[in-house]
Amino acid sequence: MIISHEHRFIFVKSRKTGGTSVEIALSRFAGPDDVVTPITPRDEILRLKSGARCQNFANDPAIEHRYLEELRGGNVAALPRYITAGQKYANHMTLADILRQVDRSVEGYKIVSVERHPYDKAVSLSNFLLGYRGYIAGGDLEASLEAIRAHIDELIASGKMREKIRNWDLYTLDGDYRVDHMLQHQDLQDDFHRLLGALDLPAFGVDLPVTKRGLRDRTVPAREVLTSGQRIAIQAICAEEFEFFSYEK
- Give the tens place of pLDDT for each residue, 116-131: 999 999 999 998 898 7
Is 248's pLDDT higher than 90? yes
Question: What digits encode the pLDDT tens for the residues 61-85?
Answer: 999 999 999 999 887 777 888 898 8
Provide mean pLDDT across the span 145-167.
Answer: 96
- In this prediction, residue 212 carries a pLDDT of 58
Question: Would you say residue 58 has pLDDT above 60?
Answer: yes
The residue that leads in pLDDT, 87 or 42, is 87
CB-CB contact of 161 with 233 (8 Å): yes
Q: Which one, of 154, 95, 83, lies nearest residue 125 by Cα?
A: 154
Q: Which residues contact 208 (CB under 8 A, 6 or more apart)?
A: 18, 21, 22, 24, 25, 188, 189, 192
Give pLDDT, residue 37. 97
Q: What percent of the chain has pLDDT over 90?
A: 76
Average pLDDT over residues 165-192: 97
Instruction: Look over the chain and give the mean of its residue pLDDT values, rounded to a whole number.
Output: 91
Cα 79 to Cα 8, 44, 68, 128, 190, distances in angstroms: 29, 10, 11, 17, 32
Q: At what angle do helices 118-136 and 228-237 cross, to 10 degrees?
A: 100
Letter for the amino acid at 216? R
Instruction: Tell me the mean pLDDT in the region 228-237.
Output: 98
Instruction: Supply the pTM of this predicted model.
Output: 0.92
Type of residue found at 42: R
What is the distance between the alpha carbons of residues 163 and 187, in angstroms, rounded to a whole number? 25
Of 34-38, 99-103, 138-142, the one with minimum mean pLDDT is: 138-142
If one compares 24 and 138, the residue with the highest pLDDT of the two is 24
Q: Say yes or no to pLDDT of 139 above 80.
A: no
pLDDT given at position 145: 86
Domain ranges of the chain: 2-245
Nearest to 185 by CA among 120, 132, 140, 126: 120
Q: How much of the chain, in percent, has pLDDT values that exceed 70?
A: 92
Contact call for residues 1 and 93 (beta carbons, < 8 A)? yes
